[in-house]
Amino acid sequence: MQIGAKVKLEGKSRKGKNRIKEAGGNQFEVVDIKDRVFFSGMAGPWIRVENGTSKHGRWVHQDNDPDFSIVSID
């Protein structure tokens, strides 16, 4: 996964599915990748995705996110 890659988020949980619906679609762009984020003790990689508005950006764990799966579309 690289910065600038286009990805599709798939909701695993009700929360994840609702967040995708609120964002107005499931296609996002990777804007940052970190090994750690302040809100979780789980090691990364953590992927920051945005859909063109900062309102609908979010951090998603690449492998173990409880709410989302990431699918590369590039």
> Does an H or E element contain 68, and which?
strand 68-72
- pLDDT value, residue 31: 93
Determine the Cα–Cα distance for residues 41 and 9; give it in Å rounded to an integer. Answer: 22
Q: Where are the domains of the chain?
A: 6-72
- Which residues fall within 8 angstroms of residue 38, CB to CB, at 6 or more apart? none
- Greater confidence (74 vs 31) lies with 31
pTM greater than 0.95: no
- pLDDT value, residue 24: 87
Compute CA 26 distance to the chain's CA centroid, rounded to the nearest angstrom.
10
Q: pLDDT tens across 10-69, in order? A: 999 999 999 999 888 899 999 999 988 888 877 879 999 998 776 788 999 999 999 999
- pLDDT value, residue 74: 64
- pLDDT value, residue 70: 93
